[in-house]
Amino acid sequence: MATSSSPRLLSSFLGDRLLSARPVLHGNAPGSRRAAYQATRTLCNLVDILFNRGQSDKPGDNPRRLRPGKLSPRLSVPNHIQRPPYVNARQRPGLNNGPEIHDERGIECMRASGKLAAQVLKFAGTLVKPGITTDEIDKAVHQMIVDNGAYPSPLGYCGFPKSVCTSVNECICHGIPDSRPLEDGDIINIDVTVYLNGYHGDTSATFLCGDVDDRAKKLVQVTRECLDKAISICAPGVEIKHIGRTIQDHADKFKFGVVRQFVGHGVGQVFHAEPVVLHFRNNEWGRMTLNQTFTIEPMLTVGSINPVIWSDDWTAVTEDGSLSAQFEHTILITEDGAEILTQCEEVVQYTEEQIRKAEESIRIRREAEPVELVEAVKNLRKIFRREEKRRKELPLELKQKVSYEIMQLLRDLGDNSTFAEQHEAVESWRLDKLKDIRSASIQNSTKLDLSNEEARILKRALQFNWHVLMEDIGRWIPLEVSHTEHDDKPENEPEEEEIIAGPPLPSQCNAELHTDYDGAAVRWGLTHPKESAADCCQACLDQAKNAKPGELRCNIWVYCPSEFGCFSPDKYEHKHQECWLKQADHPKLNFKDKYSESYRNSHPTAPVVVPWMSGVIST
């Protein structure tokens, strides 16, 4: 089911909010182009202001023009069937901020809902014939959905009164099933969405009713081809805008128009989510992500691409009454491309030439496949899965017992023991403990004062996850590292001036090289990258200037200019171009010039020289 893309048009199924693009977010990395992230959208319904309803309610002189029929009462759904959150909700649902990306369970649920939606759509297509009303199609579809334990997603969505959308002839989308019978020569799009086990499956197709003219057949055929071609280019990392370009390019060849105001969308646990998928050429940012699900649902017309909305606030028809066709699939982005979740399995007859070409394609792909690499990756995945199964958290009481025993062991060694002696003693304790556990297990003894389950968990921790356990209980002992400093520079050689990338820093920044100041974070550093130290300092000055009464005001800026990242006495990994904004009444240095020997002993990979650059703002 489509949503609306235009900031000046109806926002299909998404309530009374305006569709407007927020600024695109960019992440800048040194030496690389901007990485674009999907811009978030919100949607709005402005029908009364933006559409001439007088025009829409007067179909004109064409006797074939679509007219509203009578609506039957809303159908009921058994109480035991799970309902989407928006059903009977007071607040209208909006576009969910963020794409629908699934784990293994979510993918299986999406496959199940997609399969059911495809089966329902195929069944609905068999009902299309002259004389049947769209209301009868709705009732049959509704019954099939609830018989399979699912909920018809459109029913009750923002007040939509039916379980399926039926869009006949010039209706672009969101047609409400009513008493109008289909006529010979009609085309009808049936849009089915089911909500099964907490996940939506969304699909639609345009069917021919009786003897349809060649132009209508061509429109339906090309629309289907546009969808197929768009799906074929989908894969992880592909820019979403290529979908629109692919559809527009193919439609242009046959001089068909592409409707712009209704779009594809993310779908999954929510009905409409990011991304917004435009079906025409565009320059929107955003890339496809592995395990992401969304719909592609191009709508093509013979004439005008401008929609007019009926007074029911749903039915969208072409402005000039020209025919419109639509096809839709829900797809899953996989490692190999895209999986169509709403594909209905059909028996297809291929010619000998098609079979030969398919076999040749398979042969070429197999010859190019890196078989050894694929096998190695499979084996690694098996190993990782086994390791994950082996890992089980030690109970707190058992963890404390291990910690006390190791602490006592280290105390017995004395304060003058070396790292090597500590390592040797702890390793000997580990091996002895493993030997005791194995011996107790063989003799079915309880001398360890552990239950069988605790002994099994401890054995695995000592055998496979020893380093993780040591870090977890805070007893990690670093290898003894010898830090040797040297200076190969000739005598009397003048010191080289250190060059920091970026514009010069203002004097009030009071920049110091190789320092890290203490203080409370004013703005979370891990999400605050800056291209230069000057930009970081300016961010501090701006924050202090604009801070509201009672808020912390930045007076310390700390910047990481090192391409290898920076170290500090906490658990976070600080990356290149990371900027911290801090505040302290009495700023003091964490580090200056060099890390202490004790810090480098506990962080063997830390450099000798502190890579930070910082300063205390002058007021």
pLDDT of residue 527: 58
User: Which tops the pLDDT comparison, 497 or 276?
Assistant: 276
Q: How confident is the model at residue 444 (pLDDT cuts 50, 70, 90)?
A: low
Q: Is the pLDDT of residue 93 over 60?
A: yes
Phi, psi (deg, nearest 5) at residue 132: -80, 140
> Among 2-6, 91-95, 170-174, which is the least confidently predicted range?
2-6
pLDDT in tens, 396-443: 777 777 888 888 888 888 877 777 788 788 888 888 888 888 877 766
Instruction: Give the tens place of pLDDT for each residue, 268-300.
Output: 999 999 999 999 999 998 999 999 999 999 999
* Euclidean distance between CA atoms 452 and 456, whole angstroms: 6
Q: What is the predicted pLDDT for the residue at 253? A: 95
CB count in 10 Å sphere of residue 314 = 22
Lowest mean pLDDT of 108-117, 296-305, 484-493, 518-527, name the range.
484-493
Q: Are 43 and 261 in contact (CB under 8 A)?
A: no
320 marked as part of a ligand binding site: no
**Residue 328 annotated in ligand binding:** yes
Whether residue 491 is predicted with pLDDT greater than 70 in this model: the reply is no
Task: Tell me what the pLDDT averaged over the chain comes to.
Answer: 79
Which pTM does this prediction carry?
0.52
pLDDT at residue number 400:
76
**Which of 242-246, 403-407, 498-502 is the least confident region?**
498-502
pLDDT of residue 108: 94
Tell me the torsion sign for CA atoms 175, 180, 181, 184.
negative
Write the pLDDT tens digit of every residue in 300-355: 999 999 999 999 999 999 999 999 999 999 999 999 899 999 987 654 455 677 66
Residues forming beta bridges with residue 187, ordered by sequence position: 208
- Domains in the chain with CATH codes: 104-340 (3.90.230.10), 396-473 (no CATH), 511-616 (3.50.4.10)
Task: For 585-600, give the secondary structure using H, E and C.
Answer: CCCCEEEECECCHHHH
What DSSP state is assigned to residue 527?
G
Q: Specify the residue for token string 């002189």.
A: 61
Q: How confident is the model at residue 393 (pLDDT cuts 50, 70, 90)?
A: low
Q: What is the pLDDT of residue 24?
A: 29
Cβ(107)–Cβ(218) below 8 Å: no
Residue 352 annotated as lining a ligand binding site: no
- Calculate ∠ Cα 17-19-22, nearest 5°: 115
Is 514 assigned a ligand-binding role in the annotation? no
pLDDT at 200: 96
Q: Which of 56-60, 418-422, 446-450, 586-590 has the lowest mean pLDDT?
A: 56-60
Least confident of 29-43, 80-94, 204-218: 29-43
Known binding residue 372? Answer is no
pLDDT of residue 462 exceeding 50, the answer is: yes
Which pLDDT does position 440 carry in this prediction?
75
220 within 8 A of 206, measured Cβ to Cβ = yes
- Joined tokens for residue 294: 């969304």
Nearest to 401 by CA among 466, 460, 449: 449
| 604 pLDDT higher than 80 | no
pLDDT (mean) for 27-49: 31
pLDDT (average), residues 489-506: 66
pLDDT: is 117 or 403 the higher one? 117
For residue 202, say whether it is annotated as part of any ligand binding site: yes
Model pLDDT, residue 141: 93
**Which two structure tokens, joined as six digits, stand for 368?**
């190019």
- pLDDT on residue 348: 45
Distance, CA of 426 to chain centre: 45
Residue 512 known to bind ligand: no
Task: Report the percentage of the chain scoring pLDDT > 90.
Answer: 39
Return the higher-pLDDT residue of 619 and 579: 579
Query: What does each C-alpha distance from 159 to 95, 197, 357, 365 come to in angstroms?
Result: 16, 22, 50, 50
Tokens at 245, concatenated: 């370009």
pLDDT value at residue 83? 93
| Distances, alpha carbon 26 to alpha carbons 23, 101, 203, 527, 528, in Å | 9, 21, 33, 12, 12
> 122: helix, coil or strand?
helix
142-158 residue pLDDT tens: 999 999 999 999 999 98
Distance CA 308, CA 330 (A): 26
The 3-class SS string of 415-433 reads CCCCHHHHHHHHHHHHHHH
Burial class of residue 52 (count of CB atoms within 10 Å of its CB; 0-12, 13-18, 19+): exposed
Average pLDDT over residues 137-146: 92
Q: Is the pLDDT of residue 603 over 50?
A: yes
Q: Name which residue leads in pLDDT, 518 or 316.
A: 316
Per-residue pLDDT, averaged over 494-501, amounts to: 60
Identify the pLDDT of residue 421: 82
Instruction: Return the pLDDT at 58.
Output: 40
Would the pLDDT of 34 be above 90?
Answer: no
Mean pLDDT for 376-397 is: 72
In the structure, what pLDDT confidence band is assigned to residue 512 with cuts at 50, 70 and 90? Answer: confident
Strand order in the sheet with 316-318: 171-173, 316-318, 307-309
